[in-house]
Amino acid sequence: MHLHLIDYAIMLIYVGFVVGIGFALSRYMRTGADFFLSGRSIPSWVCGLAFLSANLGALELVGMAASGAKYGIATCHFYWLGAIPAMIFLAVFMMPFYYGSKARSVPEYLKMRFDERTRAFNSCTFAVMTVFASGISLNLLAQLLESLLGWNYLASLLVCSAVVLVYVLKGGLTSAMYTEVLQFFMIVLGFAPVVWLGLKDIGGWSAMKDALRGVALDPQKVGVNTHAFAPDAWTSAWKPVIAGPAANPMGVDVFAMVFGLGFVLSFGYWCTNFLVVQRAMAAKDMASARRTPIIAALPKMLFPALVILPGMIAVGLAFTGKGGYELPKVQIADGDFPAAVQAVKNVSTPYASFGHTEVLSGQAAELAAKSPSVIQLPQKLDPDKIEALLKDESASPLPDDQIKARLQDAVTDVDYNGIILSLLKKYCPPGLMGLALTALLASFMSGMAGNVTAFNTVWTYDLYQAYIAPNKSDAHYVFMGKMVTVVGIVLSIGCAYVAREFPNAMDIVQLVFGFVNAPLFATFLLGMFWARATSHGAFFGLVGGTLTSALFHLFTMATGNTPGWIKGAALGTMWTFPSDMARNFWLASFAFTTCFLLTAFISLATRRTKSDEELKGLVYSLTDKVDDPHQTWYSSPPLLGAVLLVFCLLLNLYFW
């Protein structure tokens, strides 16, 4: 793909601008509170858009488009079921505890409610989660630059990391938040034209739905599934889910969707993830902090049109073949080609005489029954195209480059993460391409910067200051925060290589959330609403829930995956799920339930460690209700939240 001068200019201006924001704000970073929490002085509208944009990273733009193609409109459940109710719950019930307790982080709240053990364990698991989430964003950005500019993957990782590192080091959380607001508008401006052009190209909403009905009846045609579904599987949000796991491409039932996603993962993420809570805690007062999730919820509700619809358009276009569009395929790594090419060359008898032999993912499948030649590739290959390649090689030796090209052409695995880029290539002229690519850059840097700032805060306050170097000067902790930012960036680069194993970013990020946020939400739920919950129950429940996630991962897998430490079933396969996402929902459900039950039973069996007086401001029933005399009735979070819930319900009914 060839970029024009105007495209490079737009991207360079943007990068220079965000770095400039970091330098401009650096003079205001005088204390630890300034660097880590923005001095709690940010207006609610900035906090609200930053709250939204911290989640609007690579996962949202690339992962949701990928899931829109893979699962259809059911992906909207990540918004209308898996985000809006939890954001409103955070605003109405949980922000008064976070902001009112003056905790500097979520783990610090756990220390105040329970004890140091619970805080330390959560700090460690959260730190791991943030570097993985940052690595996912970094991996997607590096793949983008590798595809567009031909950069080496590692070089792309290093350049992207350096840009994020500079503006976070200079401006701290304030820099990250104001940059996130800018990125929000860049993303909208960059992607809205692409969605409009794609919808116009396919013939409008009705034509897209007709194409998706064809996809549901024959998903193998475009490689998005292996068996047929009812015609509305890609266009109905609830009916295929209600019909059962076999009736929808996500492979989930109502319980997994409502409990696993709608309750455990969504509330676990939005209510306990310090990455997003940190943005609300930076607000200038309690009222602003409570309004932050409400402000973010309205645009969040409408974002499926911007991030999920492109994936649905792409799979519809690929099915109809309009304009020659095809879904992008997973690329064979350069290091895998030599052995595969040599295997093809070793074939000496026409493949047609052996019959069809499928080349399966992760296996060394024989290309011919009488030949020792073997191809070892992690991708699934089209047996008909492999047969044709072997016939041609047997008839007349082919050049290596031609063999490589035909092997790549035989790959059937869809590169879901590459769908959004393929649409940009198809629809964007010079100038608009630069704007759209800048929007992608913005989303990647937003996701990475948000996770890095959360990581440096939790490490500095909840691990370093608490256990390694207490009672040091404020300047010392700011210095440590900056140093650990560099460490977080380096760890993110390592995690990017792990994320590279997943063709859909949403699959790995929900797996990570299942390990950390699912059991943590059970701890918070009991801690905030049950004064009887004890520190022993919280700690051992949280550990037990996390271990349950690990055991579930080690003994289960999704259909089509190769057993291993990354994709699951490393110790054996006790349960196979129709998709990675279905597995993630069940993993989260088991982790939450284990933590909840362990915490409850152990709390009942052990003595309370804190009195009612000590728990004031930390437990709902023991805390004075928030009463702001300056707040008008129509701006109260409960009322605004109720209005948003009604609107969300209407969207669910319309796309039922």
168-180 confidence digits (pLDDT tens) = 665 555 555 666 6
- How high is the pLDDT of residue 139? 81
Helices (DSSP H) in 203-281: which residue ranges? 205-217, 239-243, 254-255, 266-272, 274-281
Nearest to 288 by CA among 450, 112, 98, 457: 98
Look up residue 489 and give its two tokens. 């960036």
Least confident piece of the model among 43-47, 368-372, 634-638: 368-372
Output DSSP code: residue 381.
B
Q: Is the pLDDT of residue 284 over 90?
A: no
Look up residue 51 and give its two tokens. 């709250």
Asked if 197 and 424 touch (Cβ cutoff 8 Å), the reply is: no
Least confident piece of the model among 117-121, 359-363, 649-653: 359-363
| Angstrom distance (rounded) from CA 109 to CA 104 | 8
Q: Is the pLDDT of residue 189 over 80?
A: no
Nearest to 489 by CA among 181, 169, 33: 169
pLDDT tier, 369 (very low <50, low <70, confident <90, very high otherwise): very low
| Angstrom distance (rounded) from CA 393 to CA 247 | 42
Asked if 609 and 115 touch (Cβ cutoff 8 Å), the reply is: yes
| Angstrom distance (rounded) from CA 403 to CA 389 | 8
- How high is the pLDDT of residue 543? 93
Least confident piece of the model among 24-33, 101-110, 525-534, 556-565: 24-33
Strands 364-366 and 374-376: antiparallel
Q: Is the pLDDT of residue 192 over 90?
A: no
- How high is the pLDDT of residue 51? 67
Highest mean pLDDT among 99-103, 208-212, 500-504, 615-619: 208-212
Per-residue pLDDT reduced to its tens digit, 211-256:
999 988 988 888 787 788 888 988 998 999 998 888 888 888 888 8
Look up residue 325 and give its two tokens. 């569009």
pLDDT average, residue stretch 145-168: 74
- How high is the pLDDT of residue 44? 58
Nearest to 169 by CA among 410, 452, 573, 560: 452
Q: Is the pLDDT of residue 513 over 90?
A: no
**Beta carbons within 10 angstroms of residue 323's beta carbon:** 9
Q: What is the per-residue DSSP string for 2-47?
A: ---HHHHHHHHHHHHHHHHHHHHHGGG--SHHHHHHGGG-B-HHHH
Per-residue pLDDT reduced to its tens digit, 430-455:
877 887 777 777 767 766 777 777 78
Quote the mean pLDDT of the chain: 78
- Cα of 405 vs its chain's centroid, Å: 32
Q: Is the pLDDT of residue 614 over 70?
A: yes
- Give residue 534's identity as a one-letter amino acid code: T
Per-residue pLDDT reduced to its tens digit, 488-508:
888 888 888 887 777 666 777
Q: 329 versus 77: which is more confidently predicted?
A: 77
Look up residue 569 and give its two tokens. 């079933």
Per-residue pLDDT reduced to its tens digit, 455-465:
877 788 778 88
pLDDT tier, 313 (very low <50, low <70, confident <90, very high otherwise): very high
Asked if 68 and 510 touch (Cβ cutoff 8 Å), the reply is: no
Look up residue 450 and give its two tokens. 């948000």
Look up residue 318 and give its two tokens. 């690929």
- How high is the pLDDT of residue 101? 62
- How high is the pLDDT of residue 124? 86
Q: 283 forms bridges with which residues in the sheet? A: 42
pLDDT average, residue stretch 388-394: 78
Highest mean pLDDT among 1-5, 354-358, 468-472, 544-548: 544-548
Nearest to 653 by CA among 100, 137, 81: 81
Structural domains of the chain in order of their starting residue, each with its CATH number = 5-23+43-324+418-624 (1.20.1730.10), 334-413 (no CATH)
Nearest to 92 by CA among 624, 642, 522: 642
Asked if 57 and 449 touch (Cβ cutoff 8 Å), the reply is: no
- How high is the pLDDT of residue 597? 95
pLDDT average, residue stretch 198-209: 89
Q: 635 versus 60: which is more confidently predicted?
A: 60
Question: Tokens 């002085």 belong to which residue?
Answer: 41
- How high is the pLDDT of residue 593? 93
Residue 64, CA distances (Å) to 55, 87, 339 in order: 12, 19, 35
| Angstrom distance (rounded) from CA 127 to CA 137 | 16
Helix (H) or strand (E) holding 426: helix 419-427
- How high is the pLDDT of residue 365? 41
Q: Is the pLDDT of residue 363 over 60?
A: no
Nearest to 309 by CA among 457, 224, 205: 205
pLDDT tier, 364 (very low <50, low <70, confident <90, very high otherwise): very low
Asked if 436 and 190 touch (Cβ cutoff 8 Å), the reply is: yes
Q: Any residues with CB less than 8 A from the CB of 403 and at least 6 apart, and which?
A: 341, 344, 345, 389, 393
CA angle (590, 621, 542) in 5-degree steps: 25
Q: Is the pLDDT of residue 600 over 90?
A: yes
Question: Tokens 């284990």 belong to which residue?
Answer: 594
Secondary structure (3-state) at 73: helix
As to burial, measured by CB atoms within 10 angstroms (0-12 exposed, 13-18 middle, 19+ buried), residue 656 is exposed
- How high is the pLDDT of residue 582? 85
- How high is the pLDDT of residue 351? 41
Nearest to 389 by CA among 413, 410, 414: 410
- How high is the pLDDT of residue 238? 92
Look up residue 7 and give its two tokens. 């495209």
Q: Is the pLDDT of residue 357 over 50?
A: no
| Angstrom distance (rounded) from CA 316 to CA 436 | 22
The 8 Å CB, 24+ separation contacts for 435-438 are 435/10, 435/186, 435/189, 435/190, 436/190, 436/191, 436/193, 436/194, 437/3, 437/7, 437/10, 437/11, 437/144, 437/148, 437/190, 438/10, 438/11, 438/14, 438/186, 438/190
Q: Is 325 left (phi over 0), alpha (psi -120 to 50) or beta?
A: beta
Q: Is the pLDDT of residue 522 over 70?
A: yes
- How high is the pLDDT of residue 176? 58
